[in-house]
Amino acid sequence: MPDIKEQKLLYHLTSIENLSSIFHNGLKPRAQLDAFADVADAEILRKRQALELERYVPFHWFAANPFDGSVQRRRPDSQFVVISVHRNFAIRNRWKVIPHHPLADDGIQLLDYAEGFEAINWDVMNVRDYHDPQCKSICMAECLSPDVVSAGDFFKIFVSNHEVEALCEAKMREAGVTVQIGVNRGMFLR
């Protein structure tokens, strides 16, 4: 498996139901959203709001992370997509990093990108042992955009199959945007 630290992308899972709005208005921080298909756990959202993390758009360092799996298990009949951006885009736009799960027992560390990147325990993250609480927490590290991320800033949208790909293409045509789409079944629960 490739070293996560050396990869070039960041990943955001969302419901396909949100794509029309995202293509028109960008990927917004939760605090700026009115109506959308929420994929996150309500209790976790309350805790994130208390930490003012709803002011950021969260991305993860790899797809098929514990968050992605949890969301897809809770909504087995829903279709999801994974939006990706280049890590260099995050660097240029001064995104923040939380080097482990934001709700970990040892508290939140909201760091500048470079400091946060170095604070992540990449060796542990690369193990991807979700039964080990420390490893799972590190695998839930986040890279946070303080701004709306427009569709023009996306690198690629990953989908689970060609049917979802066709739906994404139709939504892009309606919005007048073009984003590369790729089928990658490995990013999604089967």
98 inside domain: yes
161 inside domain: no
71 inside domain: yes
Give yes or no for a contact between 35 and 156, defined as CB atoms under 8 angstroms apart. Answer: no
pTM: 0.92
Q: Active site includes 115?
A: no
42 inside domain: yes
Selecting among 48, 55, 75, 185, the annotated active-site residue is 48
pLDDT tens-digit map of 30-63: 878 776 555 555 666 666 677 778 899 999 999 9
60 is in an annotated binding site: no
**Domain span at residue 40?**
4-156+172-185
pLDDT tens-digit map of 123-145: 999 999 999 999 999 999 999 99
73 is in an annotated binding site: no
Structure tokens at 81: 């997509």
97, exposed or middle or buried, with CB in 10 Å at 0-12, 13-18, 19+? buried
Give the number of domains in the chain: 1
Give yes or no for a contact between 113 and 97, defined as CB atoms under 8 angstroms apart. Answer: yes
48 is in an annotated binding site: yes
Selecting among 142, 163, 169, 173, the annotated active-site residue is 142
Q: Active site includes 173?
A: no
150 inside domain: yes
9 inside domain: yes
